[in-house]
Amino acid sequence: MTSAAIAGDALLKMIYSSLIAGIAISLVFSIAIFGAVRSGEKRRDHRTNAAIAYGALAAFALVISTAIVAYGLFLVAHKS
């Protein structure tokens, strides 16, 4: 039988890294949802400039969310 030794430092790093990543992606994606919802509300209220600004916020947050996920997949694929 083989036994695997678990390094405490590596385990702690994995725990806080995944906690930070989970909070970050949740926060950024919720900002995207907020921007999309507000953009629709402002468009219905005929406030075009505000609708454009909230739409840009939603688009930017979606791009950042996609980048975070892509970076995470890159790190998993190129794990050393």
Mean pLDDT for 19-25 is 93
Name the domain count of the chain.
1
Place of tokens 């036994």: 3
Mean pLDDT for 21-49 is 96
Neighbours of 52 (CB within 10 A): 13
Rg (C-alpha) for the chain, rounded Å, is 19
Mean pLDDT for 17-35 is 94
Question: For residues 12 and 56, which has the higher predicted lDDT (pLDDT)?
Answer: 56
Rounded Cα distance between 59 and 35, Å, is 8
Summarize pLDDT for 47-62 with one digit per residue, the tens.
999 999 999 999 999 9
**What pLDDT is attached to residue 10?**
76
Where in the sequence is the domain holding 38, given as residue range(s)? Answer: 21-77
pTM across the whole model: 0.80
Neighbours of 42 (CB within 10 A): 18
